[in-house]
Amino acid sequence: MITVEEKLKLFTKLVYDKIEKENQTEIDKYNSEYGNIIDEKKKEFEKQAEKMDSEKMKEIDKKKNQIISRAKVEEQKLLLQKKKEIFDEAVEEIKNYSKEFTNSEDYKELFLKSLKESMEDLKESKNISFYVIENDRDKFKKTIAEMYPDTNFKIDVDDNLIGGFTVQDEDNNIKIDMSLMSKIESSKEVIGEKLYSMLH
């Protein structure tokens, strides 16, 4: 005979089994739902981490390039400045050498040759102005007067010329520059080329 206790025990088991089964279904359902969400979130975060990682790498690369670039630009600037300094020094040396050259006999020869050349072009002119350096005024005044007795001329001083002269036809507004300064200025290209080819 089945006792009340046994019946209760049986029912209890049945109820427990049923509830356990239902719970298990619920648990499985939640597991699958939230498990998926967790997986999705995990993937999403991994993607975000990768993206952040690559963005950071790009940022680092950018910064790296900026630093390298600045250094390279600075290096080039220094190199160019040094070359320019050397060039300016060389031109200054040539000017100094030219000043010394004005005391030589060769200079006198050059002066007179240039004078003949330029006066050939101004032979029609009657009023002429010469600009020479202080040293040359007395040195060449007499020579010029002897060479061109029919021409009215005056001689002024311009020490910026370094040497040589400029001659101006006052009637026709024409000037011819035979100064050493203008020769140096127009030779800067050649000086630069020779100097830079030695520096390379």
Partner 1 sequence: MLMKGDNMIKEYTQLDKIEGPLIILSGVENVSYDEIVEIRTKSGVKHGKVVQLYKDKAIVQVFEPTSGLSVKDVSVKFTGNPLTISLSKDILGRVFNGIGEPIDGGGNVFGGVKRDVNGRPMNPVAREYPRNFIQTGISAIDCLTTLIRGQKLPVFSGNGLPHNELAAQIVKQAKISDEENGEFAIVFAAMGLKHDDAQFFLKSFEESGVLQRVVMFLNLADDPVVERIITPRCALTAAEYLAFEENMHILVIMTDMTSYCEALREISSAKEEVPGRKGYPGYLYSDLASLYERAGMMKTSKGSITQIPILTMPNDDITNPIPDLTGYITEGQIVLSRDIYQRNVYPPINILPSLSRLAKDGIGEGYTREDHPGLANQIFAAYSKVQEVKALSQVIGEDELSDIDKKYLQFGKAFEYEFLNQSFDENRSMEETLDLGWKVLSILPESELDRIDSKLIEKYYRRG
Q: Which of 114, 130, 140, 153 binds partner 1 (CB under 8 A)?
A: 114
Distance between CA atoms of 16 and 33, rounded to whole angstroms? Answer: 25
Cβ partners under 8 Å of residue 10, min gap 6: none
178 binds partner 1 (CB under 8 A): yes
Which residue type does 24 have?
Answer: Q
> What residues between 84 and 113 interact with partner 1 by CB under 8 A?
84, 87
Q: Which of 101, 151, 157, 177 binds partner 1 (CB under 8 A)?
A: 177
Which residue type does 144 have?
Answer: I
Cβ partners under 8 Å of residue 114, min gap 6: 164, 165, 178
The nearest distance, CB 44 to partner 1, in angstroms, is 17
118 binds partner 1 (CB under 8 A): yes
Cβ partners under 8 Å of residue 145, min gap 6: 153
The nearest distance, CB 19 to partner 1, in angstroms, is 40
Distance between CA atoms of 3 and 24, rounded to whole angstroms? Answer: 31
**Judged by CB under 8 A, which stretch of 21-29, 99-107, 117-125, 136-144 contacts partner 1?**
117-125
> What residues between 1 and 60 interact with partner 1 by CB under 8 A?
none
Cβ 115 vs Cβ 147: under 8 Å: yes
Pick from 83, 96, 95, 92: which is nearest to 195 by CA? 83
Q: Which of 77, 116, 126, 154 binds partner 1 (CB under 8 A)?
A: 77
Q: Which of 57, 80, 145, 147 binds partner 1 (CB under 8 A)?
A: 80
Binding site for partner 1 (CB under 8 A): 62, 65-66, 68-70, 72-73, 76-77, 80-81, 83-84, 87, 114, 117-118, 121, 168, 172-178, 183, 188-189, 192-193, 195-197, 200
